[in-house]
Amino acid sequence: MKIDPPVSVKELAEKLGISFTGNPEHPVSGLNEIHMVEPGDITFVDHPKYYNRALFSKATTIIINKEVDCPEGKALLLSEDPFRDFMKMISLLRPFVPASRLINETSQIGEHSVIQPGAFIGNNVVIGKHCIIHPGAVIYDHCMIGDHVIIHSNSVIGADAFYFQRRSDHVVKFLSCGRTIINDHVEIGACSTVDRGVTGDTIIGEYTKFDNHVHIGHDTVIGKRCFFAASVIVGGVTRIGNDVTVWGQVAINKGLIIGDGVVLLGTSAVDKDLEGHKTYFGAPAEEAKKKWKEMAAIRSMAEDYMRIQKKTNISDLTGDA
């Protein structure tokens, strides 16, 4: 998430009620998880195993629970509970704002776009030109919708990420402050869900088309001209290339990379990265030709076994040796 205008580390420390080291005027222009940080971002670390990774990442401000030497050009915020204070910072910088109407006045809707009765458009949503948002569709705060987009009934764009942290006796929610970005000429089928990024963006590329009941997890990026059939599930932080076809009831695990031009046949389950321009099938998914050969071999073995069993049973009945 970008912070516009940037805040100084001193101002941020005062709001959080914690101390800091570094230049008081050191600017913070964004916040992100450690695997997504850019220069200007603030992130947090609360385990010694990851101290060096955070301190020497691209992040220029770090919330940390131990006094350490501050790397040159960076600033540190010292916290007893970095996760808690990172969540507090999200609440301060992007607070929840209750809606006052179905189409909120802070949103922008482009020329010739149609918002059907019963659709909900949240705060600070941007919708481009020539779009159709059907009844019952819900677009959460800060989402960005391109031109010529169709969102069918009862779909939800920009809901929170499914992201929680277990503690000894309770569970805490990682607040979502990212966005969902739907690019031009995308169509989202009925009852589909596209979650917002946790601190970054979930992005759907131009001309990609979803059937009904498709779920896309947080921070996933899907390329251009992809087709997703009904009941496809994609885990968070997955990267899917251009011209990918995913047939019905396919499940793709989180954090994977699916290459350009991949075809995933129905009911497959993907648990590893897939090389582009190939067809895959099965659970776990493998190249379809290989999988079909394996299935044929197993079927042949089963038939052979049944023939042997039948012959053995007949021999038992007749007393043949």
Which residues have a catalytic role annotated? 218
Amino acid (1-letter code) at residue 259: G
CA separation for the pair 4, 201 (Å, rounded): 16
Helices 82-93 & 9-16 angle (0-180, nearest 10): 110
Please, are residues 224 and 206 in contact by the beta-carbon 8 Å criterion?
yes
CA atoms within 13 A on the CB side of 258: 34
28/5 Cα distance (integer angstroms): 9
CA-to-CA distance for 223 and 94, rounded, in angstroms?
28
Instruction: Look up tokens 């169509």; give the residue.
Output: 187
Contact assessment for residue 150 and residue 129, using Cβ atoms and an 8 Å cutoff: no
In 3D space, the residue among 77, 76, 74 whose CA is nearest the CA of residue 88 turns out to be 77
What Cα–Cα distance (Å) separates residue 155 from each residue in 46, 77, 113, 198, 219? 37, 40, 17, 20, 18
